[in-house]
């Protein structure tokens, strides 16, 4: 059995880093459940994240996201994929640390841009200059991701399956 706090693996990183894709592979590899906090929030609310942003703005979304994150330490034997802004609230970071081993999927702005440029499901990227927005978000959040991470894996060098194996080896 995985010898980490809470017996969970928590994936953090900016949107497009591969948290959901790699998370599913890692969960399968470890024989764990997979939880995507964005999907869980949508399930609880009965609406999509873009709708939550439209109605309540980013602050309303972050408050609702924090409620989902607060439940994560109760999970066992799970790989948990988080939203890109989860590290912005200090209480979220504490919940995540108590939930399990935190893995930061690091990716360059170019990789993130190429993976997200056509997405209509990412409210923070519905702007005119997506690349500039990604660069700004990355510069604002990079240190927060690194500070909370137990393990840092560079996304974009390997396939999701290979990344899952590399993460498992480092756990």
13 pLDDT more than 70 = yes
Give the model's pLDDT for residue 116.
Answer: 67
Please give the DSSP secondary-structure letter assigned to residue 66: H
Give the model's pLDDT for residue 117.
Answer: 61
* 83 vs 112, more confident: 83
Contacts of 51 (CB under 8 A, 6+ apart): none
Which class in CATH covers the domain with range 5-170? alpha beta
Measure CA 35 to chain center.
10
Find the radius of gyration of the CA atoms of the chain.
15
Give the model's pLDDT for residue 32.
Answer: 93
Average pLDDT, the chain: 83
Contact between residue 78 and residue 31 where contact means Cβ atoms under 8 Å apart: no
Question: For 130-136, what is the mean pLDDT?
Answer: 82
Q: Domain ranges in the chain?
A: 5-170
105 pLDDT more than 90 = yes
Question: For 59-86, what is the mean pLDDT?
Answer: 85
Of the chain, the percentage scoring pLDDT greater than 70 comes to: 88
Give the model's pLDDT for residue 143.
Answer: 93
86 pLDDT more than 70 = yes
């Amino acid at each position: 059995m995985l010898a980490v706090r809470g017996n969970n693996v928590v994936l953090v990183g900016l949107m497009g880093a591969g948290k959901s894709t790699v998370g599913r592979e890692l969960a399968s590899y470890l024989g764990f459940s997979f939880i995507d906090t964005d999907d869980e929030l949508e399930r609880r609310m009965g609406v999509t994240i873009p709708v939550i942003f439209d109605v309540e703005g980013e602050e309303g979304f972050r408050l609702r996201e924090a409620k989902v994150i607060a439940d994560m330490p109760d999970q066992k034997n799970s790989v948990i994929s988080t939203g890109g802004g989860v590290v912005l609230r200090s209480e979220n970071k504490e919940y995540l640390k108590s939930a399990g081993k935190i893995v930061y999927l690091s990716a360059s702005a170019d990789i993130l841009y190429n993976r997200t440029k056509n997405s209509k499901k990412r409210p923070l990227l519905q702007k005119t200059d997506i690349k500039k927005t990604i660069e700004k978000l990355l510069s604002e959040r990079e240190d927060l991701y690194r500070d909370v991470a137990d393990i840092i894996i560079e996304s974009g060098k390997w396939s999701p399956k290979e990344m899952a194996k590399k993460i498992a080896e480092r756990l």
